[in-house]
Amino acid sequence: MLRSLFSAISGLRGHQTFMDVVGNNIANVNTTGYKASRVTFEDVLSQTTQGGTAPDPQAQRGGINPMQIGLGTQVASTAMTMAQGSLEATQSPTDLAIQGNGFFILSNGQGGRVYTRDGSFSMGLDGTLANANGLQLLGWTPDPTTGLIDPTQPLRPITIPTGDQMVGQASSTVTFKGNLDQRIDATAPSPANQVTTTLNLYDSLGHVHQVTVTFTKTSNATNSWSWSVSTTEAGVSVLGSGTIGFDGTGAYQDTNGAAPDGTITLTLSNGATSPQTINVSFGSLTQVAANTSVDGAADGAAPGSLTNFSIGANGEVTGVYSNGLRKLLGQVALASFTNPQGLLRQGGNVFTTSPSSGDPVIGAPGSGGRGQLSSGFLEMSNVDLAQEFTNMILAERGFQASSRVITTSDEILQDLVNLKHP
């Protein structure tokens, strides 16, 4: 009789734990990046009242199964469900959601690291991205010489350099595209046989210099043109000229192979690097019987300041500058685990490693089975309320049934005591 009491007590204890887990899941239904837990039960030791026997062919008798009486239940595990949560749009570029496997890596402020699925970050006064508790998001910063990311380097806080200034970049290449009208007559007096366009060229200090490029048709028979550059800017002289030709289909005839089609040389007196040589390419020009539309585009840029930034699916943080150029500012790192269910919750939506989780494997988003990032989104809790309310009913009924076993056992004991009257 006592066995049923103790078995029922274990049922009460186990279903109370079940209810505790359900209650915690429901409480975190709106917690960013929260992973629900589930409870599994197992039986405890059983008392064997009779052992089993093997079949006896000589006696023509079959085997006898053992007789055992169970001694209750216990909680086997409370495992996290690592299913993907839905994404919620926030429109904040510092909010990040992981689509797939992986965890953000945060510095715990004491030289250690913690891990989270909660990507609600904000930018501090020092430009670093940190969560609501001030734990900084870690990743890689570009090499100061090459500007490239080296994932073999130590992790550092992701920093947005507010107010960062970009120096001017000197022009090194000019590419012409469009069409020179084949119907222009080379024998017509200038400027009837000419086409002009303007270029903006940048020096090493970021100053812009406007030059004029003049195309003059020199032969109708061979479809050839000459080109030259000029400027009216004081303190600047420019040199550059040559001849270009087109075949019978109007395509540009390359006579230089891999070498530039020509060069423009700027001589400056404003303190910038001088002379400045700029390679010219005409490979995208055509000469067909259509209106002229020649455009020349030069690289280079004026000085600029950081105005905005974006975070790509691969974790790259790219700065947008007022001069129209972009620069790589860093890359967010993700950690993956062999057994993410083995991580230890530490509160504040963060986890730490345990012997069961294994060591983190760190890499870029989208690599090594890690998920990609979505900027401007947050991962919602993966708690399924319908399932949790169903589990609540199961926990309640299991607890109630165990309590009925106790009361019934008590009544039986009372009847047993009443067998002998005083």
294 near 179, Cβ under 8 Å? yes
Residue 314 has what pLDDT? 96
Residue 354 has what pLDDT? 94
Rounded Cα distance, 383 and 18, in Å: 15
pLDDT tens, 317-335? 999 999 888 999 999 999 9
Enter the tokens of residue 183.
């119907």
Q: Which residues pair with residue 105 across a beta bridge?
A: 115
Handedness of CA 140, 144, 148, 151 (dihedral sign): negative
Enter the tokens of residue 274.
């001088």
Residue 422 has what pLDDT? 58
Rounded Cα distance, 86 and 380, in Å: 5
User: For the chain, which ranges sit under pLDDT 50?
Assistant: none
Instruction: Mark 54-68 as b/e (b = at least 16 C-beta within 10 Å).
Output: eeeeeeeeeeeeeee
Residue 324 has what pLDDT? 85
Q: What's the angle, vertex CA 405, arms to CA 404 and CA 410, rounded to 5?
A: 95
Residue 72 has what pLDDT? 87
Handedness of CA 349, 353, 354, 356 (dihedral sign): positive
Please state the separation of Cα 205 from the chain's center in Å. 36
> Which residue has tokens 């504040």?
348
Please state the separation of Cα 75 from the chain's center in Å. 38
Enter the tokens of residue 181.
């009208």
Domains in the chain, ordered, with CATH? 2-48+67-82+382-417 (no CATH), 87-166+306-379 (no CATH), 173-298 (2.60.98.20)
226 near 243, Cβ under 8 Å? yes
Q: Regarding beta strands 37-43 and 372-375, do their DSSP bridges make them parallel or antiparallel, or are they unpaired?
A: unpaired
Give, in order, the Cα–Cα distances in Å from 81 to each of 36, 67, 256, 274, 396. Answer: 5, 38, 64, 65, 22
**CA nearest neighbour of 345 among 15, 25, 96:** 25
Residues 6+ apart with CB under 8 A from 5: 405, 406, 409, 410
Residue 62 has what pLDDT? 85
